[in-house]
Amino acid sequence: MDNEIRKEIIKLITEMKFLTATILTALLAFISGLFLPWWAIAITSLLVTVVIHQRAGKAFLSGLLGVFILWAGLAWWIDMKNNGILSKKIASVLPLGGNSLLLVLVTGVVGGLIAAFAAMSGSYLRASKSR
């Protein structure tokens, strides 16, 4: 019984950690984007997992998700207000068959991947320090 409650609590904490890390990754990436070059998302994503420590796999996933949501979300929002005028053109210049939605997803994945590896690095960094 005690054991099960402990497990539940640990699971909950882990989930909350994951959620917090993901949100924080997105938030810091957004703020950095206002002032810093685009690649600052790598630094902010790394910092998040140094502060909120998760295992490498979880860190990777929260980094990926955090910046994917931010970049794809922003792109989708911008695209909606623009009626897809520019995205259709760019998605034809890039070989995406003029598909705006695909361009939004590619945008999210590119940002997400960088954040994911950066976050994983952060996780290993923290782990190595703690030993």
Binding mask 50-79 for other proteins (x = CB under 8 A): ------x-------------xx--xx--xx
CB 111 within 8 A of CB 71: yes
Residue 58 is which amino acid?
Answer: K
CB 35 within 8 A of CB 77: no
Figure out which of the listed residues 42, 44, 51, 112 binds other proteins, where binding follows CB under 8 A.
Answer: 42
Is residue 102 close enough to count as binding other proteins by CB under 8 A? no
Is residue 110 close enough to count as binding other proteins by CB under 8 A? yes
Give the total residue count for the chain: 131
Query: What is the C-alpha separation between 38 and 96, in angstroms, rounded?
Result: 23
Query: What is the C-alpha separation between 92 and 103, in angstroms, rounded?
Result: 10
Which parts of this chain interact with other proteins (CB under 8 A)? 30, 33-34, 37-39, 42, 46, 56, 70-71, 74-75, 78-79, 81-83, 85-90, 92-93, 98, 106-107, 110-111, 113-114, 117-118, 120-121, 124-125, 127-128, 131
